[in-house]
Amino acid sequence: DYELCEEWGHLYPVPREDLINLHREHLLHLLEMGDMEKALQLLQRIGDPGICLAISEQSLDQHPSLAASHFLADYLTGHFYANLTTARRNEIQALYMGSKVLLTLPELSRVNYFHLSCRPLLMLEQLLMNMKVDWVAVAVQTLHQLLAGQEIGFTVEDIDNLLSKYAEKALNFPFALKEKRS
C-alpha cells in the first residue's frame, strides 16, 4: 500500500506534509519489520533533502525500537550532520551511542535500560548501581571507541570520573572493625 501511495505521489501533486507523513509511516513500518536495506533505499529515493531530513527526524522522535533508533540516529548524523543544530546533533549522537551500548547488553536485559538510551552516562551509572560489572566493562569499552574525536556533551573523562566515584564508594565500609578480645 505504501508503494502504491508513493506511485500516486509521483503522478499527482501531494501536499508536502502528506508526503512526509506517508514516507515517515512507510519508513517506520520497514524499520519495525527489520528491513534496514529497504528503509535505506526508501530514504535514497526521496529527492528533496529537506523532506528526507524531516522524515528521518520525525521518525526518530516517534521513539521506535532499539534497532530502528540506532539506524535513524546513524543515518541522520551520517547524512545531515551539518543541517542539525548543535543541541539536536548532541542529542542524536547520544542516542546513537546509547543504542550501541544497549546492543552490547544481553537481549533480555535491554528492555530494562531502553528508557536510558538517549543518556548513555546515566545508563552506565544504572549498570554500576545494579552491580553489572561485566556489562559495564563492555559498555565503557564501546563508549571509549565511539567517543574518539567526538563532542557530544560528555567526554571520556566524564566516564572515568563516574567509574572513580563508584570505585571509591565500593571501598567505603559503613562499619568499624571490632578488635578481638583475648
4-32 pLDDT, tens digit each: 777 777 778 888 898 888 889 989 999 99
pLDDT at 168: 81
Q: What is the pLDDT of residues 32-61, one digit of tens each?
A: 988 889 989 888 888 888 889 999 999 988
How would DSSP label each residue in 56-98? HHHHHHT---HHHHHHHHHHHHHHSGGGS-HHHHHHHHHHHHH
Quick one: average pLDDT of 149-160?
A: 76
Grid coordinates given for 138: 563492555
Residue range 67-71: mean pLDDT, rounded? 90
pLDDT at 152 over 80: no
What pLDDT does 28 receive? 92
Structure confidence at residue 181 (pLDDT): 66
Q: State yes or no: pLDDT of 82 exceeds 60.
A: yes
Distance CA(145)–CA(156), nearest Å, equals 10
Of 79-83, 143-147, 170-174, where does the model show the most confidence? 79-83
Give dist(CA 138, CA 146) in Å, integer.
Answer: 12
Could you tell me the pTM of the whole model? 0.75
How far apart are the C-alpha atoms of 61 and 83, rounded to whole Å?
17
The pLDDT score that the predictor gives to residue 177 is 60
Handedness of CA 39, 45, 49, 55 (dihedral sign): negative
The pLDDT of 116-125, averaged and rounded, is 88
What percent of the chain has a predicted confidence (pLDDT) above 70? 92
